[in-house]
Amino acid sequence: MRITTLMLATAGLSAVLHGAPASGLAIGDAIPAATATLLNVDGRELPLAKVVGEKGTLVIFSCNHCPWVKAWEDRMVAIGNAYGTKGVGVIAVNSNDPKEYPDDDLPQMRERARDKNYLFPYAVDTTSDLARAFGATRTPEAFLFDASGRLVYHGTIDDNARNAEKVQHAYLRDALDAVLAGKSPAIQETKALGCTIVPRKQ
Amino acid sequence: MTGPEIPRRSALVAAACAAALTGLACGRQVPAPASTPPLTPVTATGVMKAVQDARGDVVLVNVWATWCDPCRREFPALLAVERELAGRRFTLILVSADFADQRAKVVQFLAQQRVGFPSYLKDEDDMPFINTLDPRWSGALPATFLYDRTGRLRDFWEGEASYEKLAGKVKALLGDAPERGVEGGSS
């Protein structure tokens, strides 16, 4: 855990407590010192602070029900499993209200994590406040922070959800490799269609 | 990036419009179209051309997908507005963001909804499609773009909108009434 990173990030705490800015996180912003309660599929509470990695931190807003998540999921899991062993803290977070999407409830998430061999936490954002703090709007949506806790990549997994063999730009992997090399990713913002996050009501 | 805006449809309108799923639009029987309207592949540039071709009308562009539950929930309200304003200077442009191999599913859903006018199927990579329509769009669905009679983008929002919001914003641009009491968009 990188205490110093989180202490640096406390400047953003008021924004978290008072609601994220409408524009969400921008490249260069500190990882939010989110107070949101995350409940991992192993049944334990998991503060975001415990996920922060020595060399970087990857937060992916994900879920069970979304066809776009399903299309990317094998690649997403492979990335999380691989870079989680390289000093990058990795977590997938589900901020959807399970009343809207029953497939996004904890038992179904636990089953998915087991079936897909998630070696990193897959956690319920129990108030959806983490999504608000990040300004996350869709799934899957990745936020990658460097070793100093600054956002260096935001966006999609790669440029072809439907066909892994036709990927031309592996945006997230490239960004992770850059972070591990101590460099800024060449491409820092990407977009793809995704499923709208439906948060719990405040 | 624009934050999520996910208003919930009021229970009243939900009840009134839920029947649209079976061919009743807010209590009014809607006949099935005589033939299946065209579903045309389109890029964002093509969407912009369709908007400009409809200049003189207030235009609402809605990007949706069959797999998107909020999109499906919103559909009856969109069609209720379109039917209510039939004969007025209003055009609804529906753009499905389904994958090309889901075309049959799109056609089936449009038929179930009694959509009687041509619509579109996205045929472009995500990023240029998103950024051409509006760089503020994060990629979340549904996404709705409202243009005035001159073809100028006047409003944009992500997430499901209520009938009241949709009708209020369109009618305000048609000059019917000020947009008081209607949930605001992101612009």
Would residue B42 count as lying in a domain?
yes
Q: Distance (Å) from the C-alpha of residue B174 to the closest C-alpha of chain A?
A: 29
CA distance A139 to A128: 13
CB-CB neighbors (< 8 A) of B139 in chain A = 137-138, 156, 191-194
SS3 percent helix, strand, coil of chain A, rounded to 5, is 35, 20, 45
Would residue B37 count as lying in a domain?
yes
Would residue B185 count as lying in a domain?
no
Q: Distance (Å) from the C-alpha of residue B155 to the closest C-alpha of chain A?
A: 16
More confident residue, B1 or B172: B172
Q: At B170, which amino acid appears?
A: V
The 3-state secondary structure of B112-129 reads: HCCCCCCEEEECCCHHHH
What is the count of structural domains for chain B? Answer: 1
Question: Is the link from the previous residue into B142 a cis peptide, with omega within 30 of 0?
Answer: yes
**Partner residue facing A198 (CB), from B67, B70, B127:** B70
* B158/A135 CB distance under 8 A: no
Q: Is the pLDDT of residue B26 over 60?
A: no
- The per-residue pLDDT of chain B, averaged, comes to 83
Chain segment A164-197, per-residue pLDDT in tens: 999 999 999 999 999 999 999 999 999 999 998 9
Place of tokens 């997430």: B159
Would residue B15 count as lying in a domain?
yes
**Partner residue facing A190 (CB), from B69, B127, B142:** B127
Binding-face residues of A in 10-69 toward B, CB within 8 A? 20-25, 66-67
Write down all domains in chain A, each with its CATH number in brackets: 3-16+24-196 (3.40.30.10)
Residue A166 at interface with chain B, using a CB cutoff of 8 Å: no
Range of the domain at B150: 11-174
ipTM above threshold 0.85: no
Would residue B122 count as lying in a domain?
yes
pLDDT tens track, chain A, 202 positions: 443 334 334 333 333 322 333 358 999 999 997 788 899 999 999 999 999 999 999 999 999 999 899 999 999 999 999 999 999 999 999 999 999 899 999 999 999 999 999 999 999 999 999 999 999 999 999 999 999 999 999 999 999 988 899 999 999 999 999 999 999 999 999 999 999 899 998 8
Would residue B100 count as lying in a domain?
yes
Probe site for chain A from B69, B138, B141 (most A CB atoms < 10 A):
B138
What does the angle CA B144 – CA B150 – CA B152 come to, to the nearest 5 degrees?
A: 40
Residue A99 at interface with chain B, using a CB cutoff of 8 Å: no
The DSSP element (H or E) to which B82 belongs, if any, is helix B69-84
* B141/A196 CB distance under 8 A: yes
Would residue B28 count as lying in a domain?
yes
CA distance B166 to B157: 11
SS3 percent helix, strand, coil of chain B, rounded to 5, is 40, 20, 40
Q: Is B62 helix (H, G, I), strand (E, B) or coil?
A: strand
The DSSP element (H or E) to which B61 belongs, if any, is strand B58-64
CA distance A149 to A142: 15
* A20/B130 CB distance under 8 A: no
Q: Is B174 helix (H, G, I), strand (E, B) or coil?
A: helix
pTM: 0.80
**Partner residue facing A137 (CB), from B99, B140, B160:** B140
Strand partners, B153: B147
CA distance A10 to A137: 23
The CATH number for B72's domain is 3.40.30.10
Question: Is the link from the previous residue into A21 a cis peptide, with omega within 30 of 0?
Answer: no
Would residue B3 count as lying in a domain?
no
pLDDT the model gives residue B7: 34
The DSSP element (H or E) to which A154 belongs, if any, is strand A151-155
**Partner residue facing B99 (CB), from A20, A162, A198:** A162
